[in-house]
Structure 1
Amino acid sequence: MGGELIIGRGQGSAIGTLIERTTRYVHLIHLPHGWKAPQVRNALITQTAHIPPQLKKTLTWGQGRELILHEDIEALTGFRIYFCESHPPWQRGTNEHMNGLLRQYLPKGTDLSAHSAHDLREIARQLNQRPRLVLGDRTPSEAKRKCLTSPLTR
């Protein structure tokens, strides 16, 4: 998985994004109490508990200080966390593409704290039901189902 934060107006709010690279399945992380390291750690631990273990092997993140508690996150989630270099966006191509799609729902310069956990689940549901050319016109939900039932992931 790849992950990062989308920052809202005046850096006063944020939403975490997790994108499974093979299936393009997106999880949006609600951060109602801020986006400093303890809040991001707690949100990642609680809001990724439902993700099947075979999809939680690795998490690649940018260089932000919000993941300084990565050892806690690794210990409590099952993710092995890696960090990208800070400037080359091509190392996070899937995340960059998803952020472009997310901006259709969460425009730049807006207050992201206005979106509830329910709102974020609905946005993710819509994105995961959207066919993708890279998936052969399948949806991320379909790709995830196939990935989870494949003999290689059992």
Structure 2
Amino acid sequence: HVKKRIEFGHWELDTVVSSRGKSKGCLATFAEMKTRFYIAIKMKDRSKDSMMKAIEQLVKALPKKAFKSFTSNKGKEFACYESVENQLEINFYFADPYSAWQRGTNENSNGLLREYYPKKTDLSSIDDNKLIEVIYELNTRPRKCLEFNSPFEAFLYELNNYE
């Protein structure tokens, strides 16, 4: 049911990082699979503590019913998975190594984000308000796969109608 995007509340997680050798700034990215709703949260570094803070920030901002599971790659920043499962009571899964296609929603959304912040961008210096504007633009863009609704509209529909 997760792969088929039938059920609301399953999220793919990833990080978008600054170029090697530059600042350690990065973004935690979250994509809800059914609605394609996408969120990026600035992190000071790619540590498990920074990722846990970003996940907690996301979970506090949305209703509990919006979270059934998280799926990520096996990056070191996701070593916080036990805390997510135990403290936040959200199931946490890992995609197979070198299988980005298993988290395609997030990978595609990260690609769209890179149109605004190319690989050479120092992500630690991006403006918070500008990041919010970019995420808003991505979430209000109609999608054919959503019958030309936007991810934002689909997400709100699910929040209002999902039991």
Q: TM-score w.r.t. structure 1 length?
A: 0.90
What code does the residue aligned with 1:2 have?
A: E
The 10-residue stretch of structure 1 (133-142 or 120-129) with the greater mean CA deviation from structure 2: 120-129
Q: Does 1:75 align with 2:86?
A: yes
- Residue in 1 that maps onto 2:27: 15
Q: How far apart are residue 86 of structure 1 and its match? A: 1.6
Instruction: Kindly tell me the number of residue pairs found equivalent between the two proteins.
Output: 151
Which residue in the other structure is 2:104 paired with? 93
Segment drifting more, 113-122 vs 33-42: 113-122
Contact 2:12 2:31 in 1 (8 A): yes
Task: Note the C-alpha offset of 1:4.
Answer: 0.3
Letter in 2 for 1:29: I
Question: In the alignment, which residue of structure 1 is the partner of 2:14?
Answer: 4
Maintained 8 Å contact 1:49/1:77: no
Q: Distance in 1 between matches of 2:120 and 2:26?
A: 11
What runs of 5+ residues in structure 1 fail to find an aligned partner? none
* CA distance in 1: counterparts of 2:124 and 2:40, whole angstroms: 13
- The CA RMSD measured in Å over matched residues stands at 1.5
Aligned runs of 1:92-111 on 2, under 5 Å? 92-111=103-122
Q: Identity of aligned pairs, percent?
A: 30
Instruction: Measure, in 2, the Cα distance between the counterparts of 1:22 and 1:80.
Output: 17
Q: TM-score, normalised by structure 2?
A: 0.85
C-alpha distance in 2, partners of 1:41/1:21?
A: 20
Q: Which moved more, 1:18-27 or 1:3-12?
A: 3-12
